[in-house]
Structure 1
């Protein structure tokens, strides 16, 4: 199982391994060598069948559930001279926290409206205009974004049943050891 993640406000994507998944929202124990960590909220869909080169108009046939989560990235491992270090920084064990999945028609609207992570009880910066709830149907807008991202990702890389396609919904925010993180039902500490 892979977690294909499109970065905030871009068409770039990367793949997080299944070892990064933390389904139980257990506290995150930071490896000793990591000095800087960032967090970013995301929305995700779980693929219900395999696909390759899926057009956006057909993408909704590949999923029926949506969830939200938080990615942790080891910023201190990223070296501008070695772009591959970005992959290492996003491959940490238990660094991807996910909520339960919801039927697309029952997804909590506040998770689209408020793409804010609470760090020590204080809400961080909200996501960009692509998540503007002034649109007539914000959930429909999010699903259309997933359809477009699935098309873009599947042009270059196939996906299989059980894979997650995730869209980061706000910029990365720095956190420190000891911080308490909340996003919807997800609650954990960085230790």
Structure 2
């Protein structure tokens, strides 16, 4: 099982991070399966970072084998969706970027990809108009809508499949909107799609 993630996919987040360039194609990176955190298990703050940031994202689950998928057929390759967190060791990432070095360890460490319960995409009226949000300790800290994606779900799937064979169960984190921030011990994170709570865990 592979975990793909898309960077720079919401204008609001790009402005938030003061990025001055535009990506002409989707920006893709990967996380190992050891990054998954499921079933409401707690996230333990690692000892190698003092600045762990949440990035709330819609996550697609691939439902059929595919390679070089045409964009017009991409909607056939996923049938479930949830909300997830792309945890980032921001201080570590910043240091690595300043040196021009790869920064996988800042994004792909153990448990850096919590995911919620999946729901069928058919229960959502419009896959291109999905509201999602993250609450921390009962207060909404981040919210977004799939209509604001720079690259749509179908474009992402088509692009990734040019380089990687997609297999059943692969996951795609589709990007984060503005509103990222840090987490602390005892925080409770709850993720929602259209008012349905799908993700609920604590920071330890």
TM class by shorter chain equals 0.7 to 0.9
The answer (yes or no) to whether the contact 1:65–1:101 under 8 Å persists in 2 is yes
The answer (yes or no) to whether the contact 2:82–2:198 under 8 Å persists in 1 is no
Superposition map of 1:38-187 within 5 A:
38-78=53-93, 79-80=96-97, 81-85=99-103, 87-107=104-124, 112-113=130-131, 115-127=132-144, 131=147, 145-171=152-178, 172-183=180-191, 184-187=197-200
In 2: Cα distance, 1:19 partner to 1:92 partner: 8
**Tell me, what secondary structure is at the counterpart of 2:56?**
strand
| TM-score of the aligned structures, taking structure 2 as reference length | 0.76
| TM-score of the aligned structures, taking structure 1 as reference length | 0.81
Report the equivalent of 2:41.
26
1:19: how far off? 0.6
**Tell me, what secondary structure is at the counterpart of 1:185?**
strand
In 2: Cα distance, 1:189 partner to 1:99 partner: 13
Q: CA RMSD in A?
A: 2.4
**Tell me, what secondary structure is at the counterpart of 2:3?**
strand
Report the equivalent of 2:17.
none
In 2: Cα distance, 1:34 partner to 1:96 partner: 16
Q: Tell me whether 118-127 or 32-41 shows the greater mean CA deviation.
A: 118-127
In 1: Cα distance, 2:5 partner to 2:125 partner: 21
1:107: how far off? 3.8
1:84: how far off? 0.8
Q: Tell me whether 159-168 or 169-178 shows the greater mean CA deviation.
A: 169-178
1:108: how far off? 8.4
Equivalenced residues, count: 177
